[in-house]
Amino acid sequence: MTDNPNLGATVLGYPRIGPDRELKRAVESYWAGRIDQAELHRVGRELRVDTWRELAAAGLDTIPSNTFSFYDQMLDTAELFGALPQRFTSLGLSPTDTYFAAARGVQDAPALEMTKWFDTNYHYLVPELTPWTEFSADGGKPLDEYRETRAAGLETRPVLVGPATFLLLSKAGDGAPEGFRPLDLLDGLVPAYAELLGTLHDEGVQWVQLDEPAYAADRTPDELEALARTYQALGSLRRRPKILVAGYFGGLGDALGVLARSPVDAIALDLVTDPSTVDTVAAEGVLRDKEVLAGVVDGRNIWRVDVDVALANAATLLGTAGKVGVSTSCSLLHVPYDVHRESGVDERIRGWLAFARQKLAEVVLIGKALHEGTGVVAEELAAARAVTADRAGAHDLREPRVRARLDALRPEHARRSPYSDRAAAQRGTLNLPPLPSTTIGSFPQTGEVRKARAAHRAGRLDAADYRAAMHAEIEKVVRLQEELGLDVLVHGEPERNDMVQYFAEQLAGFAATEHGWVQSYGSRCVRPPILYGDVSRPAPMTVEWASYAQGLTDRPVKGMLTGPVTILAWSFVRNDQPLAETASQVALAIRDEVHDLESAGIRIIQVDEPALRELLPLRATEHKAYFDWAVRSFRLATSGVADSTQIHTHMCYSEFGDILPAIEAIDADVTSIEAARSRMEVLGDLGTAGFSRGVGPGVYDIHSPRVPDVDEVSALLRTALAAVPADRVWVNPDCGLKTRGYAEVEPALRNIVRAAERVRAEHAG
């Protein structure tokens, strides 16, 4: 083995859940007490070794390690540096159980908060730091994994979350004084990283990778200075491996110059999200002394690479940087393992797809073409070009009827009457009391419901019996809501496995995978559908269930749909046209459904957009363009109804800061949001932003098994009334109830209804 080889062809990270979700099964079995710690760690080791072997066999020049995690890499980093909050470390548990306690919470020690990893659908745990946090560093997991790779006869590059990103993504823990920022701890944390790098160096580690994706977002001068200070210090260490800093999910902006001037050895660039970086680097020649990893293979989406675009970008860099290696744009954590297992996907479409395994081959191919010449891999390049050409020429993916409809759209298709006119019309037809109570849509998904769905899917339950089973469940849920005294009812969503997949399966233009799982958080995995062609709605998708429910009761039943932005956010979306165009197509399909629900007598329709914030671009300069298409697609989906039809939307988070203008602009009559935990704080923000429609601040935290009592809910409602006039406040839980059990949901909803009655009476008096 040569000393300090070039990075060559590599990837920034790899899926870790196992091709058949082995990690999920092991971890959940361990939590349930079915396997012991030794078995859990054995499965972890096996998954790691399999991964490294696979990466080596694929022909990569260098291989990452420490990309495995039993739950999350941010939690791993907090643990590695001895920075878990005391409420977990004082429990007297083993290290493994302390780790899981922080991830999932135990009695009296609530879990760390979870939040989205940049603009992806992966969620990380938010470390809590205080001025008294002291960082330590024994070699920990990166060292252990490196030793494992050595024992397996391989050389790897340990991957760490970089110190600046780690602090920028952390939050102030309990007891921290006002004004404390985790970034204030940088000078304590960098020495701990330095010590770790020294340990790894002594062990023989040649390269480490420090991930700094936080710098693909807007950063203050202060935060840029923190980056400079970090890499000046780490780069100047005498005892250290070579350092690769990876910035991904966008261009590095000013951070690129900062890193270029620092004494690190290599920088990984995301050329998929921001290809213009190539020109910046070329024009300014800033990376002349560095090794550069050209991230030309998309780590987040599943389309085969356009080899000519990738090669051109890498070649331009080759002319201006010290050395150039080829890589994925980010970790492959965000894509499934292997497209060859998807025998259910149309063969032609399958040919256009690359999952993690296929992306390894793409990286190796481009690396060879770049360094050994295209002649060496002429055949493979020709095959890759044929795929690109086949997809580009696939005219059957352009539906003339969909295109014609888009062309015919006029501004009035995305516009309703003024809110005051609509509100008056709705008061007339809906006849609701002040502070109307409702739920967000789903009711608990019992074992029976899941069983019926699975049996139907497997062909063991025919259409008529399946329908009867769902009708029975809907009737049960409707009767319960009537008995509880809710004002606006729902059908309960028993037929839905997932709020995006359910629609994707019925829309033209989507394909579903069988094994295409990706990690969402911890042991939770999702299977995003693939949006490959023009989207349209061949037949109604929800009308049958909603109208059955409405037929059972005199109270209004609210129809339930998922909005265009969320459908895009939780799918793998075609990359051959702007997102805005694809969003319009999805919006028209939803618009058709909204129309049919209205025609079937449904007077309230909710279009959920929980992902509106998730897709918000990391850079403020791109916000306006995003809001334009996101808002327009929601309005397109919901503007085809009469004034008297009430449109609701739902978003399950309480931090609205950046998207307040969009919430106003989508022009829904009622917006339900998460607010129970933050004690209605969000209402103040909405008020300040001039929000003037109906709002349902959640009064029941459905993430917790706790049942709120009547006093508590009443107090929350009074707080809400202090910020919003009574004729605009709705009473509802924070989110859907599908993950909870009836034992909690029934008493909780009962208390909500009583609290609404009580506060209504106070208000009338």
Phi, psi of 650, deg, nearest 5: -140, 135
Q: Between 515 and 527, whose beta carbon lies closer to ligand GLN?
A: 527
609 binds, among ligand GLN, Zn ion, none (CB under 5 to 8 A by kind): none
Q: Nearest approach, Cβ of 623 to Zn ion (angstroms)?
A: 23
**Residue list 272-311, contact with ligand GLN (CB under 6 A):** none
The count of residues interacting with Zn ion (CB under 5 A) is 2
CA distance 622 to 272: 16
Inter-residue contact 75 to 103 (CB < 8 Å) = yes
Q: Nearest approach, Cβ of 746 to ligand GLN (angstroms)?
A: 17
Phi, psi of 245, deg, nearest 5: -105, 125
Q: How far is CA 248 from CA 268, 325, 437, 615, 682, in A?
A: 8, 16, 44, 16, 31
Q: Between 325 and 492, whose beta carbon lies closer to ligand GLN?
A: 492
Q: Which residue has the tokens 């999350």?
A: 72
214 binds, among ligand GLN, Zn ion, none (CB under 5 to 8 A by kind): none
Which amino acid makes up residue 549? A
Q: Nearest approach, Cβ of 293 to Zn ion (angstroms)?
A: 38
CA distance 270 to 251: 7
Q: Between 252 and 630, whose beta carbon lies closer to ligand GLN?
A: 630
382 to 421: interface string for ligand GLN, x by CB under 6 A = ----------------------------------------
Q: Nearest approach, Cβ of 638 to Zn ion (angstroms)?
A: 18
Phi, psi of 607, deg, nearest 5: -115, 105
Which amino acid makes up residue 542? T
Q: Between 43 and 702, whose beta carbon lies closer to Zn ion?
A: 702
Q: Between 442 and 582, whose beta carbon lies closer to Zn ion?
A: 442
Inter-residue contact 324 to 292 (CB < 8 Å) = yes
**Residue list 474-503, contact with ligand GLN (CB under 6 A):** 493, 499
Quick one: CA dihedral 541, 544, 547, 553, positive or negative?
negative
Cα first-last separation, the chain: 84
Q: Nearest approach, Cβ of 735 to ligand GLN (angstroms)?
A: 5
Binding to Zn ion by residue 652, rule CB under 5 A? Answer: yes
Q: Which residue has the tokens 């890193």?
A: 259
Has 413 been annotated as catalytic? Answer: no
Q: Nearest approach, Cβ of 492 to ligand GLN (angstroms)?
A: 9
442 binds, among Zn ion, ligand GLN, none (CB under 5 to 8 A by kind): ligand GLN
Nearest to 561 by CA among 609, 527, 603: 609
Binding to Zn ion by residue 612, rule CB under 5 A? Answer: no
Q: Between 44 and 441, whose beta carbon lies closer to ligand GLN?
A: 441
- 196 Cβ neighbours under 8 A, 6+ residues apart: 80, 137, 139, 140, 142, 160
CA 491 vs. chain centroid, Å, equals 27
Nearest to 259 by CA among 278, 243, 283, 279: 243
716 binds, among ligand GLN, Zn ion, none (CB under 5 to 8 A by kind): none
DSSP type of residue 298: -
Which amino acid makes up residue 351? G
Q: Nearest approach, Cβ of 701 to Zn ion (angstroms)?
A: 12
User: Among 269-277, 401-409, 461-469, 730-738, which window interacts with ligand GLN (CB under 6 A)?
Assistant: 730-738
User: Among 2-10, 187-195, 237-245, 439-447, which window interacts with ligand GLN (CB under 6 A)?
Assistant: 439-447
Q: Between 441 and 509, whose beta carbon lies closer to Zn ion?
A: 441
Binding to ligand GLN by residue 652, rule CB under 6 A? Answer: yes
Return the exposure string of 311-331: e unless at least 16 CB atoms fall within 10 Å of the residue's CB, then b: bebbebbbebbebbbbbbbbb
Q: Between 499 and 569, whose beta carbon lies closer to ligand GLN?
A: 499
718 to 747: interface string for Zn ion, x by CB under 5 A = -----------------x------------
Q: Between 672 and 751, whose beta carbon lies closer to Zn ion?
A: 672
Tell me the Cα Rg of the chain.
Answer: 27
The count of residues interacting with ligand GLN (CB under 6 A) is 13
DSSP type of residue 728: G
- 601 Cβ neighbours under 8 A, 6+ residues apart: 547, 550
Residue nearest to ligand GLN (CB): 736
- HEC letters along 533-587: EEEECCCCCCHHHHHHHHHCCCCCEEEEEECHHHHHHCCEECCCCCHHHHHHHHH
Q: Between 156 and 606, whose beta carbon lies closer to Zn ion?
A: 606
Q: Which residue has the tokens 């959940």?
A: 28
Q: Nearest approach, Cβ of 673 to Zn ion (angstroms)?
A: 9
Inter-residue contact 180 to 188 (CB < 8 Å) = no
Q: Between 47 and 652, whose beta carbon lies closer to Zn ion?
A: 652
Q: Nearest approach, Cβ of 222 to ligand GLN (angstroms)?
A: 36
Which amino acid makes up residue 632? R
Binding to ligand GLN by residue 262, rule CB under 6 A? Answer: no
Tokens of 349: 């479409």
Residue nearest to Zn ion (CB): 652
User: Among 55-63, 304-312, 555-563, 647-655, which window interacts with Zn ion (CB under 5 A)?
Assistant: 647-655
Binding to ligand GLN by residue 608, rule CB under 6 A? Answer: yes
Among 456, 648, 650, 740, binds ligand GLN (CB under 6 A): 650
Q: Nearest approach, Cβ of 733 to ligand GLN (angstroms)?
A: 9
DSSP per residue, 439-460 = --SB----HHHHHHHHHHHTTS
CA distance 120 to 614: 7
Binding to Zn ion by residue 499, rule CB under 5 A? Answer: no
**Residue list 540-579, contact with ligand GLN (CB under 6 A):** 560
**Residue list 732-751, contact with ligand GLN (CB under 6 A):** 735-736, 738
Find the catalytic residue in 41, 595, 623, 703: 703
Q: Nearest approach, Cβ of 566 to ligand GLN (angstroms)?
A: 8
- 132 Cβ neighbours under 8 A, 6+ residues apart: none
Enumerate binding residues for ligand GLN (CB under 6 A). Answer: 440-442, 493, 499, 560, 608, 610, 650, 652, 735-736, 738
Residues contributing to the site for Zn ion (CB under 5 A): 652, 735
Q: Which residues are tagged catalytic?
A: 703
